[in-house]
Amino acid sequence: MPKVILKVENLYKSYGELKVINGISFQVKQGETTVIIGSSGTGKSTLLTCINLITPPDKGRIWLEEMEITDPKTDINLIRSSIGMVFQHFNLFTHLTVLDNVRLGLTVVKQIPKDRATDISIEKLSLVGLADKINSYPAQLSGGQQQRVSIARALAMDPKLILFDEPTSALDPELIGEVLNVMIKLAQSGMTMVVVSHEMGFARAVANDIIFMENGVIVEEGDPDTMFHHSQNPRTQEFLHKITELYGGKSE
């Protein structure tokens, strides 16, 4: 019975009057990929940033394995170094080379000696297919390449869980494929992932669980087969229909 890596319980977050997250609970088991879908602005990104407390939630509890993230006594930096995050706009450190970008977290946060850190970084960069770019700067790379560096940066920290916040939404269409390929490989190798995305092909290919969020709550949840073909909720059907029309059933 695979253990639960991430547990979110009764999460609430409001910005003034706006209730962005209005009572969300779900779990992700080890090795599983959960894809979160929903219209823009329904709090999906906020949900991800709440998980590593970048955005502190108003109410609710979150666990990473047995450690409670929301417990004020927990070392949040320790938790964050075990959760990887990949952003829509890559957020690479513009003043550092690709190698330094991947290596920085290892040397500064995990205090790993430079040689070892370099080895790990190059290994992860090879995994995402960018070993030849280690001395380039982010501005010299395409969007797809930058995002792959971003994934290598998260991987290098040997995380228990990686959160992806619309990783391909800011990419030109031709570049989306290279990033999704890396993500699919990652999912198939057993990484636990939570992905906010519109890429239905990706969801159909590797998701164990799809969560449809709207107005701050989970409208429906289920495995891809159920969600796409036997959904109970008309709103889910409507959304999936629209999304599949727009984005097609892209899968690689």
Partner 1 sequence: MSFMELTWNIIPKLLEGTAVTIELTVIAIAMGVLMGIPVALGRVYGNKAIYAFCTFFVEIIRGTPLLTQLFILYFGLPSIGIMLSPFLAALIGMGINSAAYQAEYFRGAIQSVKKEQLIAAYSLGMKQNQAIRYIVLPQMFRLVIPSWSNELIYLLKYSSMAYMIQAPEIMSQGRLIASRNFRTFEVFIVVALIYLILVLVLSKILDIMERRLSIPGL
Q: What are phi and psi of 93, to 5 degrees?
A: -80, 110
Q: What are phi and psi of 106, to 5 degrees?
A: -65, -45
The bridge status of strand 209-214 relative to strand 33-37 is: parallel
Q: Binding residues for partner 1, how many (CB under 8 A)?
A: 31
Select from 18-26, 132-140, 167-175, 176-184 the region that touches partner 1 (CB under 8 A): 132-140
**Of these, 2, 58, 108, 174, which contacts partner 1 (CB under 8 A)?**
108
Work out whether 52 is an interface residue with partner 1 (CB under 8 A): yes
Work out whether 92 is an interface residue with partner 1 (CB under 8 A): yes
Select from 20-28, 82-90, 115-123, 174-182 the region that touches partner 1 (CB under 8 A): 82-90
Rg (CA), the chain: 18
Q: Minimum Å distance from CB 150 to partner 1?
A: 8
Tokens of 64: 């990473």
**How far is C-alpha 70 from the geometric centre of its chain's CA atoms?**
19
Select from 2-10, 27-35, 92-100, 115-123 the region that touches partner 1 (CB under 8 A): 92-100
Q: Minimum Å distance from CB 216 to partner 1?
A: 22
Work out whether 153 is an interface residue with partner 1 (CB under 8 A): yes
Residues facing residue 67 across a β-bridge: 64
Closest CB to partner 1 among residues 96, 218:
96
Work out whether 71 is an interface residue with partner 1 (CB under 8 A): no
Closest by CA to 48, choosing from 197, 155, 164, 157, is: 164
Work out whether 34 is an interface residue with partner 1 (CB under 8 A): no
Contact present, 202 and 184 (Cβ < 8 Å):
yes
Closest CB to partner 1 among residues 54, 235:
54
Closest by CA to 196, choosing from 79, 54, 85, 65, is: 85
Closest CB to partner 1 among residues 40, 229:
40
Residues facing residue 165 across a β-bridge: 196
Closest by CA to 109, choosing from 156, 62, 147, 68, is: 156
**Of these, 73, 139, 189, 246, which contacts partner 1 (CB under 8 A)?**
139
Which residues of this chain interact with partner 1, rule CB under 8 A? 49, 52, 54, 77-85, 87, 89, 91-96, 104-105, 108-110, 137-140, 153, 157
